[in-house]
Amino acid sequence: MRYQNDLYQSTNPPKNETNNRPKHLFIGFACATIITISYAFFSEKSATPLPASIALTIPDITTKMEQSGKSDALVTEVDPPETSPHEVSSANAPTQSMQSLSTIWQEHKIASGESLSAIFLSNNLSRLDLNNIIYANDISSKFATIQPGQSLLIGHDLSGNLSHLVYKKSAYAELKATRLEDGSFKVELIEEELDRRINSATGIIHSSLFLDGQNAGLSNNIIMQLANIFAWDIDVALNLHEGDRFSVIYEKLYMGDEFIGSGKILAAEFINQGKSLTAVRYKNPAGKISYYSSSGDSLRKAFLRTPIAFARISSHFNLKRKHPVLNRIRAHKGVDYAARTGTPIKSSGDGKITFRGRKGGYGRVIIVQHGHKYSTLYAHMSKFKKSLRVGSRVKQGQVIGYVGKSGLASGPHLHYEFRVNGVHRNPLTVKLPNASPIQAKYKADFREKSRLLLQQLAQLSSTQVAANELFK
């Protein structure tokens, strides 16, 4: 009984302790009242927005969404409306772009050999839109000149329809197609205003055109232009000699004070083994641009001297050569150019492909017929240009295949043959037919426009000769 009494505790509160709950409730109510009165007294009164502004106000939003792990980036841009909600467009106003609020952009990197049609197919774009773009106007045909490694920007509206197609041709020019309200497309070439400054340079060949051109302050772009201008007369990889000289007058392009890059060569002179070759860039009143000699003859010939750039000759034209694989005397009716597998091979002239396939020890071969009199053969290719077939028309300088070692070949190279009326001729020495000279009706205009450039070239050349004599 004592054990139970010791553990017992009363649950009733002590008689001397009072209940404080009413006091706590009163303090809480007083604090809440003070806070409410303070907020109402100190806060600013905001004007009640009009219903129209609530419904029609669109914020200026720019968001960028990047797909992690993917090369394509999507950018959504939402622009503020440029007109009041109460403005009504006039029936006579020009047609506006369908893009008013947003465009979703996708970048497509152009692959080698990829056409605009293939790009539309791979991106699930409408063939009708493609047709409307390429036939929109005269400018739209420039979409056919897209280059591998460049990018196309494809714009979609919020419904997923194609709204824009943009091709950045250069740092200062872009080709843009924009969908209009009627579903057609407007195509325009947008070019930044450039400052074209005339510059000049001279150089002497000691090792190669590239190295000596760079030493003269020329960019790779200008050096390549120089090589291409004289490609019909000089193989810059094989026919240059110590002491050969060149003079160049060319453009430098600026946007404000910012240098953008090199422009076009306006005039050039190349002295190769004592023979002077002169080139002047001329645009006739009809808009045709080409390079001509000082007398108005076209530098362009019907055939390129070599169908592959900057390659060395590994075997010459020789009717009594010993074959390196068969190890017996076998006429070598062409010229071999050693180059890395995959090096582009160009058609040496305009013509039509009459053979494309394998031909015994030649391996993969393309034969191009140039009119009735001339034909050329390109052998040992690693692969053909995909878009070309028998019957395809090709232009001079157009890539038709790639260097390889198919057939009987000891290493990667191009075997090139040149035939006149079916008879094999040495491609390096055969006389090539010239292209047409300046038309008689443009001769006076050419002489007037080229006079100053030819005087400047002569002055550059004489200054260079004087400098060489001084430092001998």
Determine the Cα–Cα distance for residues 163 and 178; give it in Å rounded to an integer. 6
Pair type for strands 374-384 and 399-403: antiparallel
Beta-carbon contacts of 347 under 8 Å, excluding residues fewer than 6 positions away, are 307, 368, 376, 394, 395, 396, 397, 398, 400
Pick the CATH number of 195-301+438-470 from 3.10.450.350, 3.40.50.970, 3.40.718.10, 1.10.10.10: 3.10.450.350
Return the closest-CA partner of residue 107 out of 132, 74, 63, 138: 74
Q: Is it the case that residue 141 has pLDDT exceeding 90?
A: no
Q: What percent of the chain has pLDDT over 70?
A: 74
Strand partners, 167: 152, 175
- Was domain 60-80+97-191 assigned CATH 3.10.450.350? yes
Instruction: Name which residue leads in pLDDT, 81 or 362.
Output: 362
Amino acid, single-letter form, for residue 131: N
Binning pLDDT at 50, 70 and 90, where does residue 469 land?
A: low
Beta bridge partners of 188: 176
Tokens of 144: 């056919």
Residue 320 confidence (pLDDT): 63
Banded pLDDT at 299 (limits 50, 70, 90): confident
Q: Is the pLDDT of residue 88 over 50?
A: no
Give me the mean pLDDT over the 286-312 stretch.
Answer: 87
- Range with the poorest average pLDDT among 13-27, 52-66, 165-179: 52-66
336 strand-pairing partners:
315, 415
Q: Is the pLDDT of residue 236 over 60?
A: yes
With a CB cutoff of 8 Å and minimum separation 6, the contacts of 399 are 344, 345, 346, 385
**pLDDT, average across residues 131-136:** 90
Query: According to the per-residue pLDDT averaged within each range, which of 103-117, 143-157, 390-404 is highest?
Result: 390-404
Contact 281, 291 (CB under 8 A): yes
CA angle 377, 382, 383 (to 5 degrees): 80
Torsion of Cα atoms, 335 then 339 then 344 then 345, to 10°: 0
The pair phi, psi for residue 225, each rounded to 5°, is: -60, -45
Highest mean pLDDT among 25-29, 146-150, 210-214: 210-214
Burial track 358-397 (b if 16+ CB lie within 10 A, e otherwise): ebebbbbbbbbbbeeebbbbbbbbbebbeebeeebebebe
Query: Would you list the domain boundaries of the chain?
Result: 60-80+97-191, 195-301+438-470, 312-425
Report the chain's mean pLDDT, rounded to a whole number.
Answer: 79
Could you tell me the fold of the domain covering 312-425?
Glucose Permease (Domain IIA) (2.70.70)
SS3 411: coil
User: Token digits for 156?
Assistant: 């979609």
Cα separations in angstroms, 90 against 87, 95, 96, 186, 217: 9, 10, 12, 20, 57
CA distance 462 to 245: 12
3-state secondary structure of 120: helix
Evaluated on CA atoms 103, 104, 105, 111, the torsion sign reads negative
Question: Are the C-beta atoms of residues 126 and 177 closer than 8 Å to each other?
Answer: no
- What is the maximal distance between C-alpha atoms in the chain? 142
How many CB atoms sit inside 10 A of residue 202's CB? Answer: 19
- Of 332, 356, 342, 328, the C-alpha closest to 416 is 332
According to the model, what pLDDT value does residue 81 have?
36
The Cα 393–Cα 376 span in angstroms is: 14
Q: Cβ distance 233 to 305 under 8 Å?
A: yes
Per-residue pLDDT band at 307 (split at 50, 70, 90): very high
Q: Say yes or no to pLDDT of 343 above 90.
A: yes
Is a pLDDT exceeding 50 seen at residue 250?
yes
The one-letter code for the residue type at 11 is T
Tell me which of 34-38, 205-209, 328-332, 352-356 is least confident: 34-38
Distance CA 234, CA 238 (A): 8
| 12 or 450, higher pLDDT | 450
Predicted local confidence at residue 342, as pLDDT:
94
Question: At 401, phi and psi to the nearest 5?
Answer: -175, -170
Q: What mean pLDDT is predicted for residues 34-63?
A: 44
- The residue that leads in pLDDT, 436 or 116, is 116
User: Taking CA 158 as the corner, what is the angle to CA 187 and CA 93, rounded to the nearest 5 degrees?
Assistant: 50
Q: How many residues does the chain have?
A: 472
**The pLDDT value given to residue 255:** 87
Please say if the pLDDT value at position 67 is more than 80. Answer: no
* pLDDT at res. 9: 42
> Is the pLDDT score of 101 beyond 80?
no
pLDDT tens digits, residue range 362-391?
Answer: 999 999 999 889 999 999 999 999 889 999
Which is nearest to 294 in space by CA: 106, 456, 405, 81?
Answer: 456
Euclidean distance between CA atoms 227 and 298, whole angstroms: 16
Report the pLDDT averaged over residues 192-221. 93
Q: Do domains 60-80+97-191 and 312-425 have the same CATH topology?
A: no
429-448 residue pLDDT tens: 888 887 778 889 999 999 99
Identify which of 203, 208, 248 has the alpha carbon closest to the alpha carbon of residue 226. 248
